[in-house]
Structure 1
Amino acid sequence: MPATTLSIPTPDGRSDAFAAFPDGGGTYPGVLMYPDAFGPRPALWGMARELAGHGYYVLVPNVFHRHRPAPVFDLPEHITTENRPALFGQIMPLIEAHTAERALGDAAAYLDFLTAQREVRGGPIATIGYCMGAVLAMRTATAHPDRVAAVAGFHPGALVTDQPDSPHRRIPGLTAEVHLGLAENDMTPEAITEISQAFDAAGVGYSCEIYPGTVHGFTMADTDAFDEAGSRRHWERLLALLESTLE
């Protein structure tokens, strides 16, 4: 499976990125994969390779590129429940610095770069994300409705907040089909209702599913949160979404 590291021009300098794609010499639908709060790292790059094996060009940008290249944090080989608090002491300042304005500037740059790659087929792409990456995937899809046909978020971050720039407030402009795969405590029933009403009002196809027995981070094989059944369900839902929207 071909894979490469790349450098993407953004409004705030160059963003390093990882890309994986099939070894077929053709062109493939593009997928922009946003990482979770731990950032791009071998576990994410492995997921990109797995998705590329199903016939997609997958770009994983370093959303923390303003701070340092990936892997951004000095992570243990396996992230345990015990070492999460100390890690988040390092991570939260970078998350807080990644404002909606910065995210949208990056998103436009990532889309331009992805769709210009010679291995990427013309037409709309998909945005997918994990944890905070789900927020970035949604922001990208709502800001570029003519360029994004599918958006998927797994164990998402704060999609519904009381802030003026809450991601759910931008859903009226959405045209992409959506799947949200939630751990059992990711979103309150009230938040699920609110975002579902926003999808209904936008007239888009969507599913918002709680994956039973899972905790936040269930797709990440390098953490204690990983759940094999939840990960398998995530791949099933993601591949079905991409097949129905990008093929």
Structure 2
Amino acid sequence: MQITKRNVELRVDDSLMRVYVASPKPAGTYPGILFYSDIYQLGSPMIRLVNYLAGFGYVVAAPEIFHRIEPIGAVIEPDDLGRMRGNDDARRTAIAEYDADCRAVIDFLKADAAVNPDKIGTLGFCIGGHLSFRAAFQPEIKAAVCCYPTGISSGKLGQGIADTIQRVSEITGELLLILGTLDPHIPESDRHTLIKAITEANIPHQVFLYEAEHTFMRDDGYRYDAVAATSAWSEIITFLAKIFP
């Protein structure tokens, strides 16, 4: 399916948040997906993933997660300095600010003429996986895909300690977790804690483990694994199609 691409600006608190939106080109009404990037924001690898998902029949809205700190349109380079910069931006962003951004994008999707307001989901990578998990606390979220989500078990997200793991029971939709068994940022103990919490809260979920490293779905890095990434995307598309037939 061909897609269209645009940027929109949403005012959240006193900050202007740019959101990249990819939509199916054929006229119609589609599910909406709140898409969260990793700490490097919306560089080419993330934009390719947004566009890829939109081509399966979704209106995908990807906000710049550090818009209160970085200039509009800023892309952080995925090198050592960029990693430090992205992690510093994450630490400087209040958890309540992440939540406010989430609410703003959900409201934008619900108001978009091309979106079915009863079919809203979310998908994210790394810190974005954590944000996607947290977005599932919102009642509109019917499906949340979390790809190697960092910091859920430890509460590491922004300023202070995130209460994400304590709020699992607030999730009313279904979850899909994509995890790498070679990922040092989400060790086995953290994976066990996360899956145990979801299971005990009776949240409908699926978990797929790959013998892969962190960010194995990002195609510009040395940890990229094409076979694992292709398999993960197949599971993601199948999952979303089940929730949003």
Q: TM-score, normalised by structure 1?
A: 0.90
Q: Which residue pairs with 2:129 in the alignment?
A: 134
**CA–CA distance in structure 1, aligned partners of residues 130 and 52 of structure 2:** 22
Q: What pairs up with 1:176-187 in 2 under 5 angstroms? A: 176-184=173-181, 185=183, 186-187=185-186
Q: Which residue pairs with 1:70 in the alignment?
A: 73
Are the structure 2 counterparts of residues 234 and 121 from structure 1 closer, same or farther at C-alpha, using a change threshold of 3 Å? same
**CA–CA distance in structure 1, aligned partners of residues 231 and 164 of structure 2:** 25
Runs of 5+ in structure 1 lacking a partner? none
Secondary structure of the corresponding residue to residue 18 of structure 1: strand
Is 1:11 equivalent to 2:4 in the alignment? no
Q: What pairs up with 1:41-190 in 2 under 5 angstroms? A: 41-67=43-69, 68-73=71-76, 75=77, 79=78, 84-142=79-137, 144=138, 146-161=139-154, 165-184=162-181, 185=183, 186-190=185-189
Contact 1:41 1:70 in 2 (8 A): no
**CA–CA distance in structure 2, aligned partners of residues 217 and 122 of structure 1:** 31
**Pairwise CA RMSD:** 1.6
**CA–CA distance in structure 2, aligned partners of residues 71 and 230 of structure 1:** 29
Task: Read off the aligned partner of 1:195 and give its amino acid letter.
Answer: L
**CA–CA distance in structure 2, aligned partners of residues 104 and 151 of structure 1:** 15
Q: Which residue pairs with 1:241 in the alignment?
A: 239
Q: Which residue pairs with 1:223 in the alignment?
A: 221
Contact 2:36 2:129 in 1 (8 A): yes
Secondary structure of the corresponding residue to residue 65 of structure 1: coil
Structure 1 range deviating more: 163-172 or 107-116: 163-172
Per-residue Cα deviation, 1:15-65 (whole angstroms, up to 9, x for no partner): 001111111111100001100111112221111111111111001110111
Are the structure 2 counterparts of residues 230 and 71 from structure 1 closer, same or farther at C-alpha, using a change threshold of 3 Å? farther
Per-residue Cα deviation, 1:57-90 (whole angstroms, up to 9, x for no partner): 00111011112112332x2xxx5xxxx3222222
Contact 1:28 1:56 in 2 (8 A): yes
Identity of aligned residues (%): 22
Are the structure 2 counterparts of residues 70 and 234 from structure 1 closer, same or farther at C-alpha, using a change threshold of 3 Å? farther
Task: Read off the aligned partner of 1:54 and give its amino acid letter.
Answer: F
Contact 2:180 2:209 in 1 (8 A): yes
Structure 1 range deviating more: 85-94 or 157-166: 157-166
Per-residue Cα deviation, 1:146-185 (whole angstroms, up to 9, x for no partner): 2001111112211111675242211011112111111122
Are the structure 2 counterparts of residues 129 and 198 from structure 1 closer, same or farther at C-alpha, using a change threshold of 3 Å? same
Contact 1:11 1:106 in 2 (8 A): no
**CA–CA distance in structure 1, aligned partners of residues 236 and 89 of structure 2:** 28
Secondary structure of the corresponding residue to residue 149 of structure 1: strand
Task: Read off the aligned partner of 1:181 and give its amino acid letter.
Answer: I
Per-residue Cα deviation, 1:84-132 (whole angstroms, up to 9, x for no partner): 3222222221010122111111111111111111111120311110000
**CA–CA distance in structure 1, aligned partners of residues 83 and 50 of structure 2:** 24
Contact 1:160 1:166 in 2 (8 A): no
**CA–CA distance in structure 2, aligned partners of residues 158 and 101 of structure 1:** 16
| Alpha-carbon offset, residue 189 of structure 1 | 2.6
Task: Return structure 1 stretches of 4+ with deviation > 3 angstroms.
Answer: none
Task: Read off the aligned partner of 1:175 and give its amino acid letter.
Answer: T
Task: Read off the aligned partner of 1:190 and give its amino acid letter.
Answer: S
Contact 2:155 2:165 in 1 (8 A): no
